Copies of this chain bind each other. A is one copy, B any other.
Amino acid sequence: MYRTHTCGELRTGDIGKQVSLAGWVQYFRQKGAVSWIVLRDRYGYTQVVFEEGRSKPELLEALKKIGREDVLQIQGEVIERYSKNKELPTGDIEILADSMVVLNHSATPPFTIEEESDGGDDLRMKYRYLDLRRPPLRRNLELRYRVSRAAREYLDAQGFFEIETPFLIRSTPEGARDFVVPSRMNPGQFYALPQSPQTFKQLLMVSGYDRYFQVVKCFRDEDLRADRQPEFTQIDCEMAFVEQEDVLRIFEGLFKDIFKKIRGLELKEDFPRISWEEAMRHYGNDKPDIRFGMKLCNLKVEGHYEAPILSSLAFKVLEEAPSILAIRVEGGASWTRKQLDELTDWVKRPQIGMSGLLHLRHNPDGSFKSSADKFLTQEVCAELGNHCSLQAGDLLLMLAGPDARTRKAASELRLHLGNMLGLRKPDEFAPLWVVDFPLLEQTDDGHWTALHHPFTAPKPEHALFLNQPEHFGKIRANAYDIVLNGTEIGGGSIRIHERGMQEAMFAALGMSREEAQEQFGFLLGAFEYGAPPHGGIAFGFDRLCALLGGQEGIRDFIAFPKNNAGRDVMLDAPAGISPEQKKELGL
C-alpha cells in the first residue's frame, strides 16, 4: 500500500496521525530553514513541510534533487498549519515529513501544467498525457463521466436496457462515408464501422426489447471541419409502441435530470417546441439559440412582400432581391457610423456573402434615418418600423438577396449581434425542441435525400405523398431535434415499421428495388415479422458535455482526440503497416 490517504482528504481532525501520501510535486518552495512541497493527486493538494532541526538531515539533502512533477511517497505526521490556506480544503494542515521515497523522477515538462498552459496546440496534443494533468481537462473528463452516469441512471429507472450492437458491420453507400475494415478471412471483402447503430436498434424493437439505449462510439469518414472528430460518442435510444409525444416526454425528462445533477439547475417549464418552419422563419436556421430574442423580421420572402409598402418602391436593390430580412436591435439607434460600417464589412465577407447591409435608425425624437434615405422616406420607414415593432431608440438592420443565402446571412448576423451584445451567456441554458421537419430535401442536382435518414416515417397524413414525387417537398415527418444554445445536441424520429412504406421511401431516394434488397434486406425482412411502431433519438454526447461545461469546442472533453487532419499526434496514427500485413489482407 503506497498511501493511507489521498492528497485531498486530510483535515484538522486528522492532526497527530501518522500518514502516507503519494502524488506529484505541484511546487517546491524554500525559505530559510524551511522547505515546502505541495503534493498533488486527483483528489487535491496537500502541503508537506521540512525544517532544519526538525527533519532528518538526509531528508533535507534528498530535497535538493526534487523537481516539479516528480512522484513522491511521503510519510509523516499531520500537523496544524501555521499560516492557513483558506483556498484549499486541506489548507488547515500540513505533513511534517518523516520519510520521502522518490517513486519516479520527471523531466521538465514541455509546458506548464496549470489552469492555463503556455503550451501550443500541437505540443499539448503530442504530450496529451501531460495536458490531461491540467485541472480544466480533469474537470472536463470528470463532468463527462458524471453526465454518462446521470444518463444511465435516468434511463435505467425508465426501464431502458443498454444493449451493445456490433462494430464490424456492412458498408452502405447511404449517408456519409464509412470507414471500412478489410477482412483477412474473406479476401476482397470489407466490414464497415457503424455511423450509428440505427438499424440495429430498430431490429431490437422488432425483437421486443421495448426500450433500448447505448452509450456508443460511432464513426464517420468526413472531411474534417474544425471541431469534428472521425470517432464520436452518441447516447443512442429507441422505444417501441410510442408516438412522438412519448419520446419527447421521456427525453425532456432526461435533460431536466442531467441539468439538475450536473449544473444544479431546476428546469421546471416544459421545453419550448417550435416547428422547423417557424425556426427557419424566425431564426434563419433549424437550431436556434433562444437565449436571446432578436427574431428575424420577414419583409419579403421568396418574392412575396410581407411588408406591402416595399412593393411600391422603385428601389432596385430591394425590387430584385427575392428575400428581405431585418433584425431589430433594441436601443441600437445610438450605434456609431463606425460600428455600422464594421457590421457591413462583416456581412460582405465571403463566408456570409451579402452585398451590403441596410440600416434604419428610429431616433429618440421619433424621426427615422436610414442608409438609403432617397428611397426609404419617413413614411416608408414608419411602416417598416411598424412591421418590425421598432421603438424609438432602436435600430433595424436589413439584408436583401437570394432566399437561402439571405436567410443564412440573417441567421449568422443575429448570432453575431448576440455575441457582440453579450446575450449568449455560457452559463445560461435554453433548450428547445424543433419539430415537424421535412422528410425529404432536394439536392442541387434535383435528387431527393432524407433530411434525417431513410428510416424516418412521414407523418401519417402525408404517407401517400411518398408515391407522388411532385409532393415530396411537402412531406413532413414526426422528426425532432433537441437544440441547446444554438447547437443541435440530439435528433430523432418516429420510424417506418412497414415493409411497403420503407420500400417506397428507398424508391423516393432513387434506390432500385435490388439495391434496397441488397443493402437493407435484413431490415425489410424484419418488417415482415411483426415489427411494432417505434421511434427514438440519439444525442451527440461529446457536444452535450462541452455545452454543459460551458464551452464550444469538444476536443478537451475527449481524453485522446484526433487533430483537425484526423491524426492522433501522440501515437502518430494513422501510419504505414508492414508488407506482410498488407499481403495477408490482400491489399
A binding-site residues for B, Cβ under 8 Å: 1-3, 6, 22, 24, 40-43, 69-71, 103-107, 109, 127-130, 132-133, 138, 141-142, 144-145, 148-149, 152, 156, 161-171, 173, 177-186, 188-193, 200, 203-204, 206-211, 217, 219, 221, 223-224, 230-231, 233, 241-243, 245-246, 497-498, 521-522, 525-533, 558-562, 565-568, 570-578, 581, 584-585, 587
Contacts and interface: CB of A to CB of B under 8 A. Distances in A.
Nearest to A497: B104
Contacts of A574: 168, 170, 181, 183, 186, 189-191
Nearest to A246: B1
B533 A190 contact: no
B132 A575 contact: no
Given A217-B167, A532-B22, A559-B163, A41 B2 contact: no
A209 B141 contact: yes
A295 B245 CA distance: 63
A42 B210 contact: yes
A177 B184 contact: yes
A530 B72 CA distance: 9
A306 to B, nearest CB: 39
- Counting from the closest, the 10 A-B pairs by CB-CB distance are A106-B530, A170-B573, A132-B207, A189-B574, A2-B241, A183-B574, A42-B210, A69-B530, A129-B203, A170-B571
B242 A2 contact: yes
A111 to B, nearest CB: 11
Nearest to A20: B241
A244 to B, nearest CB: 11
Given A130-B207, A560-B200, A574-B170, A243 B1 contact: yes
A2 B138 contact: no
A232 to B, nearest CB: 10
Given A129-B206, A138-B208, A208-B138, A183 B566 contact: yes
B2 A109 contact: no
> Which interface residue of A178, A192, A223 has the most chain B CB atoms within 10 A?
A192
A162 B104 CA distance: 26
A502 to B, nearest CB: 12
A546 to B, nearest CB: 14
7 contacts: A132-B204, A164-B558, A169-B568, A169-B573, A170-B571, A180-B585, A522-B572
Contacts of A185: 223-224, 565-566
A578 B6 CA distance: 56
A188 B183 CA distance: 17
A562 to B, nearest CB: 7
Contacts of A532: 22, 24, 71, 103-104
Given A141-B209, A152-B152, A180-B577, 14 more contacts: A40-B208, A41-B241, A109-B529, A129-B204, A132-B209, A138-B209, A164-B558, A170-B572, A171-B575, A181-B181, A181-B574, A189-B576, A190-B574, A190-B575
Nearest to A584: B177
Contact of A71 (B170, B204, B531, B562): B531
A166 B2 contact: no
Contacts of A566: 183, 185-186
Nearest to A569: B522
A198 to B, nearest CB: 13
A164 B217 contact: yes
Oligomer copy total: 2
B133 A208 contact: yes
A173 B581 CA distance: 9
> Which interface residue of A42, A162, A190, A217 has the most chain B CB atoms within 10 A?
A190
A133 B142 CA distance: 38
Contacts of A69: 529-530
Given A104-B498, A532-B103, A209 B168 contact: no
A44 to B, nearest CB: 11
Nearest to A206: B129
Given A105-B530, A209-B141, A526-B129, A171 B581 contact: yes
Nearest to A211: B42
Contacts of A184: 177, 221
Contacts of A103: 532-533
B166 A145 contact: no
Contacts of A221: 184
A191 B243 contact: no
Given A161-B145, A166-B560, A189-B575, A70 B530 contact: yes
Contacts of A533: 2, 103-104
A132 B152 CA distance: 23
A525 to B, nearest CB: 8
A142 B159 CA distance: 11
B571 A204 contact: no
A168 B41 contact: no
> Which interface residue of A107, A184, A526, A566 has the most chain B CB atoms within 10 A?
A184
Given A168-B230, A231-B168, A571-B170, A182 B182 contact: yes
> Which interface residue of A42, A192, A575 has the most chain B CB atoms within 10 A?
A575
A104 B167 contact: no
Nearest to A149: B156
A361 B581 CA distance: 56
